[in-house]
Structure 1
């Protein structure tokens, strides 16, 4: 089966996490009976005029591809921006599936809302709509969009060849290692984590992985604080090194202020056997179960986060139970299970 994958976000060697969800899907489906061709855009820092020019070229390629009879399925990712050419021409006898990932559906900006409303009739016309979580599917329905063939698939799932459990749990004879990975920005709750650290009642170290617009101010704040020797900054890591990071830390803190579409970093940590303390909002609730594989706290409430971290450290039995449960609790999100389910779904679209 030949699939044309269309996405305005796709990783390259310079931006390995940019659109990584899309690449994860491709990597897994390529192991099955699917052959991929691509129309994708990579991250750039060009001015508005140059970006507009690149989008025009992108849309022209999409138009041309609609006349290719060898393609069995057109697979649009981030449809709010990639599906626009089909407003002009929607080909007959062509199978089309769209895949939302998060901001393309949830972003409240004027342009995002406008384009989604503009495309609403196409959303109901395509042959299938995929979401990374049940939370996202529910949001689609809440926005009064409709399609008779909705499906949840967690962004390619988690690669268990890379993200596998560590061999031991924390024995409390060294500083407790707290970890964060992702976009270092206020919307991801990084300030909530930083402001909670001085109030912890035990010896700890905090490791922060990633980059983002708030990283310079965060680093400056830490340098001038009394706990600067306890916080360490690490640049963005490859998936293999990120897995090692999850196994190195004792707890992963996911303090996002956003209703995450899925929250892949939290899942990856659980697969590595490291409990998660996460905000009780969005797609995180689809896999993080309080007192089973981690602890939840009230989003944007650093007192609630302080309480959760202290609870986890002070209750050794609870910590060890959460660690042992972490990986087993999320096996339905593994890339092997996800791949089988998504393969069956796409095949059904093409052959029915």
Structure 2
């Protein structure tokens, strides 16, 4: 996954990972990527064919100290063949969907074969480290290194002069796809509106369910209350995070980390998020945000109302706690730790 001009947020964390390691004087002698999301099976097949050819060529004909791979299942078919003649240490960065989507399928047998030949597995959270140890019991904790998806770049996500919103603003930054919980967010807003609670909401993102979302906004008579911005470039997100009183993260998916929540926190914006997977590793209920049961619309509405009714002092405490949490995931620190571990791996081998 890698960004393209048409899909600038597609795999942007992979691009950030590369740029940040380059600042540590890491040289990428060869790069094989798929730029932008593919819409149909033919284009996917073609792009993966070119991608696998590129990987094979670079594997045998380029000079490098180690091979770093993002996403396991997408790459394990070609890696299984190439590793018949292993050249250098192999590092695989597992992100979540590549594991969850392969469970119970034949591709997972290939994943197991590749993992047994992998020197280091990088995961985005302690939660996902446990998932890997449960699903692949032959792995050992020392084989797995926790590194949260290149971390939060504080030069891109930072506090701006505060806005005093006459009407509180709630935000959703997400792909508009199945499982992301956008419909639960809208349903919760509808409950709040029926209770007479004043709010404004902004939604930024793109996805396969945009039309369904716009239809739902209209059907719930939320058109005056919800503004859909579509895709917002990453360098503009800082303005949205700072504009929000709170960000809602209603995913029902097993997010391995949920970096967007940490980006909001780096702007001192508390997060009201699903009590699930990676999110619950950094959202602390009643401290830096609020947690609710995934898919429970009434509980989500209650948590939003609860936050809006907090005193100014309590909100300030949560804002400061959110910011303190984000500092633990600061990009320079995260990449420095990963860089040191990669250097150790090269020395060991």
Shorter-chain TM-score tier: over 0.9
- Relative to the length of structure 1, the TM-score reads 0.91
Match of 2:316 among 306, 310, 320: 320
CA positional deviation for 1:26: 0.7
* Alpha carbons 1:123, 1:146 under 8 Å: kept: no
CA distance in 2, matches of 1:119, 1:227: 45
Structure 1 residues 329 and 119, CA, compared in 2 at 3 Å: closer, same or farther? closer
Deviations 1:79-106 (A, max 9, x none): 2121322322323441110001121011
Identify the residue that residue 61 of structure 2 maps to in structure 1.
Answer: 68
Alignment gaps of 5+ in structure 1:
1-8
Match of 2:79 among 64, 86, 96: 86
Query: Which residues of 2 match residues 1-352 of structure 1 at below 5 A?
Result: 9-36=1-28, 37-45=30-38, 47-68=40-61, 70-90=63-83, 91-107=85-101, 113-148=105-140, 149-168=143-162, 174-200=166-192, 201-316=196-311, 317-352=313-348
* Alpha carbons 2:76, 2:110 under 8 Å: kept: no
* Alpha carbons 2:152, 2:326 under 8 Å: kept: no
Q: Answer with 60-69 or 11-20: which moved more.
A: 60-69
Greater share of strand = 1
- Relative to the length of structure 2, the TM-score reads 0.92
Deviations 1:289-317 (A, max 9, x none): 11111011111001111111111111123
**How many residues are paired up?**
340
Identify the residue that residue 4 of structure 1 maps to in structure 2.
Answer: none
Which runs of at least 4 in structure 1 moved beyond 6 Å after TM superposition?
none
CA positional deviation for 1:333: 0.5
Q: Answer with 97-106 or 44-53: which moved more.
A: 44-53
* Alpha carbons 2:190, 2:220 under 8 Å: kept: no
CA distance in 2, matches of 1:109, 1:79: 12
CA distance in 1, matches of 2:43, 2:209: 26
Q: Answer with 53-62 or 236-245: which moved more.
A: 53-62
CA positional deviation for 1:206: 0.6
Alignment gaps of 5+ in structure 2:
none
CA distance in 2, matches of 1:119, 1:84: 8
